[in-house]
Amino acid sequence: LITEGITAHAEAEDGHWSVWVREEDATDRAKQELEAFRSQPRDARYQNVERLAQERLLQEHRQREAARKNIIEPSTDWKAGAPRRIPLTRTLVAMSIIATILASTLMGRDSTLRETVAEQLSFVNYPDYLETQDPLVNIKQGEVWRLVTPAFVHADPVARGFGVFHILFNMYWLVHFGGMIEDRRGSGLLAMVALLTAIGSNVAQATFPEAIGSIQLPASLHGAVLFGGMSGVVYGLFGFVWIKSRTEPTSGLWIDPTTAVLLFGWLILCMTGVVGPVANIAHAAGLIVGILMGLVPTGRGSAES
């Protein structure tokens, strides 16, 4: 089975042998191979298969060791450098830095350029929102870029100050998770996950109500139209990698348990309101979108019990 590319192992129990096939879609082919062996166990095709299987297992072991060395720990991300093939990740980082600078008071408190950039990149033009009370008013008018562009601006939504911690936190995890996805699964997949999590988190943050039925939500869980930052996308990438690491362990996407605890803990802490105004709905929505996308099978090493 191993020489035919079917991952399997055998276990002895009560005088019998059980053969376990890892991938469900290979089960039928494995049964066919078993019947063929039973009918002609001395066929020439079975000569030297043990040696061939050992060579294949050794090769796979070497590949796993090489892949393990390429795993990037959060504590060494910046020291070791980003993965080599991450042009989209680097572009997203550059766009975030440029947009944040242009939309912040670093351009001058009375800068016309700053006001124009901040207004055009926000989810909604605030005067239009005040007039209509519709957070989607500008998007309905065809300004669809607003579904995504708030993710690039890490400036205070009111004072437009430069959010240093905000952008450093988000860019660190963007390089970590985004770089991992792009380097191992391609720029196209990263673009899809980033785009859908940006749209999902931004729309949720702007439209989420202050109450559900008769239940009044705490202020930390209210939606708001004045927000910005890549946090929703970061949590989406995190959710995607987290799920893929569990459902497709050979996908090349992996997350350290400590990192998962840290990010889930930060999400919960922010929701309590003790760290100040945070776009918690964007975080949660991005995480949910990322998890849902991660649950879609891609055919690379899905785990079957």
Residues 262-301 have pLDDT tens digits of: 999 999 999 998 887 889 999 999 999 999 999 998 755 4
- Cβ within 8 Å of residue 272, ≥6 positions away: 220
Rounded mean pLDDT, 165-192: 94
- Cβ within 8 Å of residue 294, ≥6 positions away: 239, 240, 241, 242, 243, 244, 247
Whether the pLDDT of residue 188 is over 90: the answer is yes
Query: Lowest mean pLDDT: which of 76-90, 129-143, 184-198?
Result: 76-90
Percent of the chain at pLDDT > 70 equals 86
Handedness of CA 302, 193, 287, 245 (dihedral sign): positive
Residue 218: the pLDDT is 86
Q: Is residue 96 within a helix (H) or strand (E), and if so which, with residue range?
A: helix 87-102
Residue 262: the pLDDT is 95
Better-scored residue on pLDDT, 144 or 60: 144
Mean pLDDT of the chain: 85
Catalytic residues: 231, 283
- Would you say the pTM of this structure is higher than 0.85? no
Give the CA radius of gyration of the chain: 25
Residue among 198, 190, 191, 292 at smallest CA distance from 239: 292
Better-scored residue on pLDDT, 13 or 131: 131
CATH class of the region 77-294: mainly alpha
Rounded mean pLDDT, 151-162: 67
Domain(s) of CATH 1.20.1540.10: residues in the chain: 77-294
Cβ-count burial 206-232 (b if 16+ within 10 Å, e if not): bebeeeeeeeeeeebebbbbbbbbbbb
The amino acid occupying position 136 is L
Residue 83: the pLDDT is 44
